[in-house]
């Protein structure tokens, strides 16, 4: 590979995010599609006008590196044994600002996104592979963000 290809800023494809996984508008770039890492998937996600992710977890860890604005990460605990319909309890909320880096352990229910409707929030999300050559999976849920999950999203 020549030096020009190593330092190019163009050519990172947009990732079409499923709109039902977010509470508002987002834009995403699939960095991993360009650089093809073998141990993680990497995305740059911009949350518009107070948008957030819906409740979800990853089968391996996720690291977020904030690149713009103010946001938050909210961690939850699952209560009960239901798979598609169960209760949740908020464990903690962490404010996120440009330059912050935070790791979310595997299988931890959480949500993250903007806290300001007038300013975009953005981060790089690094989703680790659970095992060598096994791509990471994210499991998404519909919830009220307070006490209950009503369904697992496709």
Domains of the chain listed by start with CATH number = 12-152 (2.60.120.10)
**What percentage of the chain carries pLDDT values higher than 90?**
77
Q: What is the mean pLDDT of the chain?
A: 91
Q: Is it the case that residue 58 has pLDDT exceeding 60? A: yes
13 contact partners, CB below 8 Å, separation of at least 6: 29, 30, 33, 34
Pairwise CA distance, residues 25 & 65, whole Å: 20
Reported as a pLDDT band with limits 50, 70 and 90, residue 112 is very high
Query: pLDDT, tens digit, for every residue of 72-105?
Result: 999 999 998 888 899 999 999 999 999 999 999 9
Give the model's pLDDT for residue 124: 97
What's the whole-number mean pLDDT along residues 36-49?
94
């Amino acid at each position: 590979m020549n030096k020009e290809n190593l330092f190019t800023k163009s050519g990172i494809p947009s990732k079409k995010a499923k709109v039902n996984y977010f509470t508002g508008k987002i834009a995403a770039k699939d960095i991993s599609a360009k650089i093809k890492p073998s141990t993680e998937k990497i995305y740059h996600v911009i949350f518009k006008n107070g948008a957030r992710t819906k409740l979800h977890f990853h089968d391996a860890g996720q690291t977020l590196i904030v690149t713009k604005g103010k946001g938050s990460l909210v961690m939850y605990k699952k209560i009960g044994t239901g798979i598609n319909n169960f209760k949740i309890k908020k464990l903690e909320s962490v404010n996120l600002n440009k330059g912050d880096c935070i790791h979310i352990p595997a299988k931890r229910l959480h949500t993250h996104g903007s806290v300001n409707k007038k300013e975009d929030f953005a981060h790089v999300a690094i989703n680790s592979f659970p095992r060598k050559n096994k791509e990471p999976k994210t499991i998404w849920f519909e919830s009220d963000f307070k006490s209950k999950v009503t369904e697992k999203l496709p």
